[in-house]
């Protein structure tokens, strides 16, 4: 079947969704996806970030689809023509969805462990506005303890349902789910039960925001100060591939995650033992640096390219300030002792 997305043609097999076709093409036409996760059956359709315009339904029925369609759950038809990035309607809809997702979000990125690898940050960067129109009180939830490994921060949740699907599809006896309804829907165990299934840690990896984070990594580091390496170990947990990314700070492994691709989906799921119990570098065979897409903030600390010491010519001046400014703000009325004067001159005050 032939599909055209933003003017780019591609041949796909029957059953391919528009989003999958767009990912095959790659680049800017790929719609953002906050709830769809290719490895989780039945995911998608909920966040509405990936809405696209179907300008031509198919060769057989060329009528345009009146509403924007969620590309992650809409199948391609032969001859279909789709506008993603190229449509103003789509742009507006994505901006709308971004605004809706942010109105009740705490915007607490400075203290959020997800910051730097957060899909909502990326979405806001691309489609958000600097100023909020929402002046009402934000919705909040009571904190709930769901065990020693996973931190639930419901205020940040966007209700993608991915973690529920992980529990349903990867583990037996799901103990958490979506409680209540409407804008009070929340992820909870209802009875404050610990989520301790051997694959439950994957909830953290699939969470697009900072609602589920690794308790063993909590507040340890900003993600971009870590050096991520691909690593593996002989894991004996049935169903675990043992292939991970370890996030290092010096010789210390601060965090272990699955290996995430450019759409932030893990390549394979890993078990809790790999994730939480092996923080000793000796437990791992380090394969080499994990690469991230060029715009990722994780490259802020990029060590995969040669790093030269940067010399800033004006550095000294910056520390000391300009002469005229120093005169303005200095307080000649207070005499400095010899040592203080020396420090001041060197800008160490």
Partner 1 sequence: MERTHYKQEINITEPLMNRINELISHYPADKRKSALLPVLHEVQDAHENWLSPELMDKVAEILQILPIEVYEVVSFYSMYNQRPIGKYMFEFCHTSPCCLKGTEDLMDYTCEKLGVKVGEITPDGLFEVKGVECLGACGYAPMMQLGDFYKENLTEDKIDQLIADCRDDKIILHDK
Partner 2 sequence: MSKKILLDKINVPGIKTYEVYRQNGGYASVVKAMKAMTPDEVVEEVKKSGLRGRGGAGFPAGLKWSFIDKKSGKPRHLVCNADESEPGTFKDRYLMEFIPHLLIEGMITSSFALGANLSYIYIRGEYMWVYKILERAIAEAKAAGWLGKNILGTGYDLELHVHCGAGAYICGEETALIESLEGKRGNPRIKPPFPAVSGLWANPTVVNNVETIASVPWIVNNSGDDYAKIGIGRSTGTKLISASGHVKNPGVYEIELGLSVYEFMNSDEYLGGMSSDRPLKALVPGGSSVPILPADLIYKTANGEDRLMTYESLSDGGFATGSMLGSGGFIVYDDTSCIVRNTWNFARFYHHESCGQCSPCREGTGWLEKVLWRIENGQGREEDIDLLWSIQSKIEGNTICPLGDAASWPVAAAIRHFRDEFEYHVRFPEKIKNRNHFVAEPFAQVKHLVTKQTV
For partner 2, the binding residues (CB under 8 A) are 44-49, 51, 67-68, 70, 73, 75, 93, 96-97, 99-101, 103-104, 133-134, 136, 139, 158-159, 178, 180-185
Contact criterion met (CB below 8 Å) for 91 and 27: no
Q: Distance between CA atoms of 46 and 67, rounded to whole angstroms?
A: 15
- Looking only at the bridges linking them, the beta strands covering 227-232 and 285-289 are antiparallel
Q: Are 121 and 102 in contact (CB under 8 A)?
A: no
| Residue 174 contact, options partner 1, partner 2, none, Cβ 5-8 Å cut-off depending on partner type | partner 1
CA distance 247 to 224: 10
Between 67 and 218, name the residue whose CB sits nearer to partner 2: 67
**Token couple for 210:** 């900072």
| Among partner 2, partner 1, none, partner that 73 touches (CB below 5 to 8 angstroms by kind) | partner 2
Min dist. Cβ of residue 197 to partner 1 (A): 12
Which residue among 24, 65, 179, 336 contacts partner 1 (CB under 8 A)?
Answer: 179
How far apart (Å, rounded) are the C-alpha atoms in residues 223 and 298? 7
* The one among 24, 73, 109, 178 contacting partner 1 by CB under 8 A: 178
- Work out whether 131 is an interface residue with partner 1 (CB under 8 A): no
Cβ nearer to partner 1, comparing 22 with 157: 157
Per-residue interface string for the shown chain with partner 1, residues 49-88, x marking contact by CB under 8 A: ----------------------------------------
How many residues are recorded in the chain?
Answer: 349
Helices of type H across 26-157: 88-103, 119-127
- Out of partner 1, partner 2, none, what residue 343 binds, judged by CB under 5 to 8 A for its kind, is none
Structural Rg of the chain based on CA atoms: 25
Q: Does residue number 297 form part of the binding site for partner 1 (CB under 8 A)?
A: no
Query: Within 13 Å, how many C-alpha atoms sit on residue 234's CB side?
Result: 0
Q: Which is nearer to partner 1, 93 or 164 (CB)?
A: 164
List binders of partner 1 among 187-226 (CB under 8 A). Answer: 189-192
In angstroms, give the least distance from the CB of 317 to partner 2.
Answer: 46
Among 174, 243, 255, 259, binds partner 1 (CB under 8 A): 174
As a whole number of angstroms, the distance between CA 40 and CA 108 comes to: 28
* Site membership for partner 1, residue 286 (CB under 8 A): no
Q: Residue 317 and residue 321: Cα distance in Å, rounded?
A: 5
- How far lies 13's CA from each of 54, 62, 81, in Å? 18, 19, 16
Binding stretches for partner 1 (CB under 8 A):
142, 144, 173-181, 189-192
């Amino acid at each position: 079947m032939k599909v055209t997305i933003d003017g780019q043609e591609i041949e796909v097999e029957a059953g391919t969704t528009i989003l999958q076709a767009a990912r095959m093409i790659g680049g800017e036409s790929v719609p953002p996806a906050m709830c769809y996760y290719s490895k989780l059956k039945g995911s998608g359709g909920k966040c509405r970030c990936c809405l696209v315009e179907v300008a031509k339904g198919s060769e057989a029925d060329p009528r345009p689809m009146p509403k924007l369609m969620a590309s992650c759950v809409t199948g391609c038809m032969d001859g279909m023509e789709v506008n993603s990035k190229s449509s103003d309607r789509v742009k507006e809809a994505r901006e709308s969805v971004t605004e809706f997702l942010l109105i009740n979000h705490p915007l607490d990125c400075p203290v959020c462990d997800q910051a730097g690898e957060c899909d909502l940050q990326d979405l806001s960067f691309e489609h958000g506005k600097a100023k909020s129109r929402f002046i009402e009180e934000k919705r909040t939830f009571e904190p709930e303890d769901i065990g020693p490994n996973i931190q639930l921060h419901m205020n940040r949740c966007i209700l993608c349902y991915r973690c529920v699907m992980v529990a349903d599809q990867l583990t037996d006896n799901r103990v958490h789910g979506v409680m209540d309804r409407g804008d009070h829907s929340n992820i909870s165990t209802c009875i404050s039960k610990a989520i301790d299934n051997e694959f439950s840690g994957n909830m953290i990896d699939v969470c697009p925001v900072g609602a589920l984070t690794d308790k063993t990594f909590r507040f340890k580091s900003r993600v971009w100060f870590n050096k991520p390496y691909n690593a593996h170990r002989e894991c004996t947990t049935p169903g675990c591939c043992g292939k991970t990314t370890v996030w290092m700070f010096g010789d210390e492994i601060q965090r272990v995650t699955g290996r995430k691709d450019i759409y932030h989906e893990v390549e394979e799921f890993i078990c809790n033992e790999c994730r939480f119990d092996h923080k000793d570098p000796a437990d791992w065979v380090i394969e080499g640096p994990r690469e991230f897409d060029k715009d990722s903030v994780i490259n802020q600390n990029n060590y995969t390219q040669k790093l030269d010491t940067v010399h800033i010519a004006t550095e000294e001046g910056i520390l000391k300030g300009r002469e005229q400014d120093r005169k303005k703000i200095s307080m000649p009325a207070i005499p400095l002792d010899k040592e203080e004067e020396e420090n001041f001159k060197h800008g160490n005050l």
